[in-house]
Structure 1
Amino acid sequence: MSQPSPIAALDEQGTVVAWSRTAQRLTGLTEAEALGRRVPDLLAAGAEALTEVLRGGLTIGSLTGGDRRRWGVWPSADSAVRVSPAVDAAFTQSPIGLHLIADDLRILRVNKAACAMRGLPEDSILGRSVQEAFARYEPAAVERVVREVLATGEPVLDHLVRGTSPADPEHEHALAISLFRLENTDTRTMSVVAEAVDVTPRERNRERLALLHRAHEHIGRSLDAVRCAWELVEVAVPDLAGAAFVALFDAAVQSTAPSDLPGLRCVAASTDGEDMPAVGSALAPEPFAQILSDRVPHVEHLAAEGRVLTLPLLVRDTLLGVVRLRHLHPRRPYDEAAVRLVADIAAYTALCIDNAQHYEHAHATALALHGSDPGSLPAGRGAVETAQRYLPTGPGAGAWFDIVPLSGARVALTVGQVHGGGPGATAAMGQLRSAIHALAGLDLDPHDLLARLHNTTRRLGAERQAVGDTRKLTATCAYAVHDPVAKRCTVARAGRQSLAVLLPDGTWNDRPLPETSPLGEDGPPFAAEEFSFPPGTTVVLLSGPDPAGSDTLRRLRADLGDRSAAADDVLGRLPADQAAVLLARTRALDPADVATWDIDPELTAVAAARRLTIGRLARWGLNDLEFAAELTVSELVTNAIRHGTPPIRLRLVRNPAARTLTCEISDASPAAPHLRHARAGDEGGRGLFISGELSDSWGVRWSSEGKTVWTETAFGT
Structure 2
Amino acid sequence: MAEREERAGQGAPEASAPPEGREAPEGRGPAGRQAVAVFDDSGLVVVWTRAAERLLGVHRAAILGRPVTELLTLVDLEKLTEGVTVGPVGEGDPPGRWGLWPAGPLPGGIRSGVLDAVFTQSPVGLHVLDADLNVLRINSAAGGMRGVAEGEIVGRPFSEVYSRFGAGSLEDALREVLASGVPIFDQRVAGYPREDPEREHIYTVSVFRLEDDLGRPLGLVASAVDVTARDRARDRLAVLHRVHARMGLRLDAVQCARELVRAVVPTFADVAHVALTTAELHSPDTDTTWGDTALRCVAGWPPEADEAPEVGAALDMPYGDAHGPAPYVQESHAAGPTLVVPLTLRGVLLGVAHFSRPRRPDPFEDDDLRLAADLAAHTAVCVDNARRYEHDHAVALALKGNLARTGRTGRSAMETAHRYLPTGLGGGAWFDVIPLSGNRVALAVGHIAGIGPDAMAAMVQLRSAVQVLSALDLDPHDLLARLDDTTRRLGEERVAAGTGGPLTAQCVYAVHDPVTETCAIARAGHQTVLVGHSDGSWRSGLLEETTALGGEGPPFAADEIPVPPGSTLVLLSGRADPDDPALAGLRARLAGAVPPRALSASDLHDLPLDQAAVLVARTRSLDADDVACWEVTPELTAVSEARRWAVRTVEEWGLTETAFAVELIVSELVTNAIRHGTPPIHLRIIRNPADHTVTCEISDAGTAAPHLRRARAADEGGRGIFISGELSDRWGVRWSEQGKTVWTETSYMP
The match for 1:410 is 441
Amino acid at match of 2:232: R
Amino acid at match of 2:475: D
Count of matched residue positions in the alignment of Structure 1 and Structure 2: 612
The match for 1:348 is 378
Q: 1:209-268 deviations in whole A, cap 9, x for unaligned?
A: 111122123333332334433443444455425343423251564221426693233242
Q: 1:258-283 deviations in whole A, cap 9, x for unaligned?
A: 26693233242536676766666665
**1:373 maps onto 2:396 in alignment:** no
The match for 1:232 is 260
The match for 1:600 is 631
Amino acid at match of 1:384: T
Q: 1:471 to 1:245 in 2, by over 3 A?
A: closer
The match for 1:401 is 430
Q: 1:384 aligns with which of 411, 416, 421?
A: 416
Could you tell me whether the CA contact under 8 Å between 1:226 and 1:253 is conserved in 2? no
The match for 2:206 is 178
**1:161 maps onto 2:189 in alignment:** yes
Could you tell me whether the CA contact under 8 Å between 1:307 and 1:333 is conserved in 2? yes
SS in 2 for 1:376: coil
Q: 2:648 aligns with which of 589, 597, 611?
A: 611
**1:654 maps onto 2:688 in alignment:** yes
Q: 1:145 to 1:510 in 2, by over 3 A?
A: farther
**1:585 maps onto 2:616 in alignment:** yes
The match for 2:326 is 296
The match for 1:22 is none
Could you tell me whether the CA contact under 8 Å between 1:409 and 1:653 is conserved in 2? no
- CA shift, 1:651, in A, is 4.9
**Equivalences for 1:137-536 in 2 at 5 Å?**
137-143=165-171, 145-146=173-174, 155-180=183-208, 186=214, 188-189=216-217, 193-238=221-266, 239-248=268-277, 250=279, 253-258=282-287, 262-268=292-298, 270=300, 287-290=318-321, 294-302=324-332, 306-363=336-393, 366=396, 373-378=402-407, 382-391=414-423, 393=425, 396-397=426-427, 399-407=428-436, 408-418=439-449, 420-463=450-493, 469=498, 473-483=502-512, 485=514, 488-494=518-524, 496-501=525-530, 503=532, 509-511=539-541, 513-532=543-562, 535=566
Question: Quick one: distance in 2 between partners of 1:681 and 1:606?
Answer: 26
Question: Quick one: distance in 2 between partners of 1:121 and 1:168?
Answer: 15
- CA shift, 1:607, in A, is 2.3
Question: Quick one: distance in 2 between partners of 1:150 and 1:532?
Answer: 97
- CA shift, 1:135, in A, is 2.8
Could you tell me whether the CA contact under 8 Å between 1:404 and 1:437 is conserved in 2? no
Could you tell me whether the CA contact under 8 Å between 1:402 and 1:413 is conserved in 2? yes
- CA shift, 1:457, in A, is 3.3
The match for 2:742 is 709
SS in 2 for 1:391: coil
Q: 1:278 to 1:487 in 2, by over 3 A?
A: farther
- CA shift, 1:715, in A, is 7.2
- CA shift, 1:689, in A, is 3.6
**Equivalences for 1:662-677 in 2 at 5 Å?**
663-669=695-701, 670-677=703-710
TM-score by length of 2: 0.69
Q: 1:316-374 deviations in whole A, cap 9, x for unaligned?
A: 33333333444424423221111111111111111112212322343355467x57634
Larger mean Cα displacement after TM superposition, 628-637 or 378-387: 628-637
SS in 2 for 1:256: coil
Q: 1:243 to 1:428 in 2, by over 3 A?
A: closer
Q: 1:411-462 deviations in whole A, cap 9, x for unaligned?
A: 32131324x5555444444433332221122122222112212223344455
Question: Quick one: distance in 2 between partners of 1:151 and 1:583?
Answer: 79
- CA shift, 1:690, in A, is 4.2
- CA shift, 1:698, in A, is 3.1
Calculate the aligned-residue CA RMSD, in Å.
Answer: 4.3
Q: 1:330 to 1:623 in 2, by over 3 A?
A: farther
**1:539 maps onto 2:570 in alignment:** yes
Larger mean Cα displacement after TM superposition, 358-367 or 627-636: 627-636
Amino acid at match of 1:412: L
- CA shift, 1:557, in A, is 4.5
The match for 2:101 is none
Could you tell me whether the CA contact under 8 Å between 1:248 and 1:265 is conserved in 2? yes
Could you tell me whether the CA contact under 8 Å between 1:366 and 1:426 is conserved in 2? yes
Could you tell me whether the CA contact under 8 Å between 1:246 and 1:268 is conserved in 2? yes
- CA shift, 1:387, in A, is 0.6
Question: Quick one: distance in 2 between partners of 1:332 and 1:593?
Answer: 91
Question: Quick one: distance in 1 between partners of 2:135 and 2:728?
Answer: 106
Q: 1:315 to 1:215 in 2, by over 3 A?
A: same
Could you tell me whether the CA contact under 8 Å between 1:310 and 1:325 is conserved in 2? yes
Amino acid at match of 2:507: A
Amino acid at match of 1:386: H
Amino acid at match of 2:646: A
Q: 1:449-487 deviations in whole A, cap 9, x for unaligned?
A: 12212223344455556x564965331221322427266
Question: Quick one: distance in 1 between partners of 2:238 and 2:457?
Answer: 42
SS in 2 for 1:168: coil
Question: Quick one: distance in 2 between partners of 1:711 and 1:150?
Answer: 109
Q: 1:607 to 1:303 in 2, by over 3 A?
A: same
TM-score by length of 1: 0.72
- CA shift, 1:110, in A, is 4.5
Amino acid at match of 2:147: G
Q: 1:474 to 1:462 in 2, by over 3 A?
A: closer
SS in 2 for 1:600: strand
